Amino acid sequence: MNTRIKNFFYKNIYLNNNLLGLLISIILTYLSLYIIIEQIFLKDIRLLFITLVSIIQIIVHIKYFLHISNFSDYNWSVSIFVFSAIVVLIIILGSMWIMNDLNHHLVIM
């Protein structure tokens, strides 16, 4: 490899971290997609596997893309993470509540 290219990658550690995070995210996404399409496990095991892969992918996104792992400003990082988790939880639970309510009021003719 060219020395100029090596120096570029060694100096840009964030680029290396982002590329590693992107690679891990792509692998996890294709792994979960493959498990669902090929129906390798039973339904309950697939659901557990997808849940575990999604939790791992959340951790990868937090570490490699949001850079929360460096604890230089720990209080702000935690507060931003908690706020984001609350917003995501509200969106998911609200969507589930709306879908359940729509299913309850569905009239079949």
Q: What is the mean pLDDT of the chain?
A: 80
Structural domain range at position 82: 71-109
The band of 69, judged by pLDDT with boundaries at 50, 70 and 90, is low
Residues 39 and 84 in one domain: no
Residue 90 has pLDDT above 90, yes or no: yes
Contacts 24+ apart (CB under 8 A), 82-88: none
Global model pTM greater than 0.75: no
Comparing 76 with 24, the larger pLDDT belongs to: 24
Alpha-carbon gap, residue 69 to 20, rounded angstroms: 15
Q: At what angle do helices 13-38 and 43-60 cross, to 10 degrees?
A: 170
Residues 55 and 76 in one domain: no
Residues 59 and 9 in one domain: yes
Residues 30 and 55 in one domain: yes
Residues 82 and 39 in one domain: no
Residue spans of alpha helices (H) in 1-109 = 3-11, 13-38, 43-60, 74-104
Residues 76 and 101 in one domain: yes
> How far, in Å, are 10, 12, 24, 89 from residue 6 at the CA level?
6, 10, 22, 42
Residues 13 and 47 in one domain: yes
Q: Region 63-79: what's the mean pLDDT?
A: 70
Residue 106 has pLDDT above 90, yes or no: no
Residues 42 and 85 in one domain: no
For the chain, how many structural domains are there in total? Answer: 2
Q: What is the pLDDT of residues 38-49, one digit of tens each?
A: 988 898 899 899
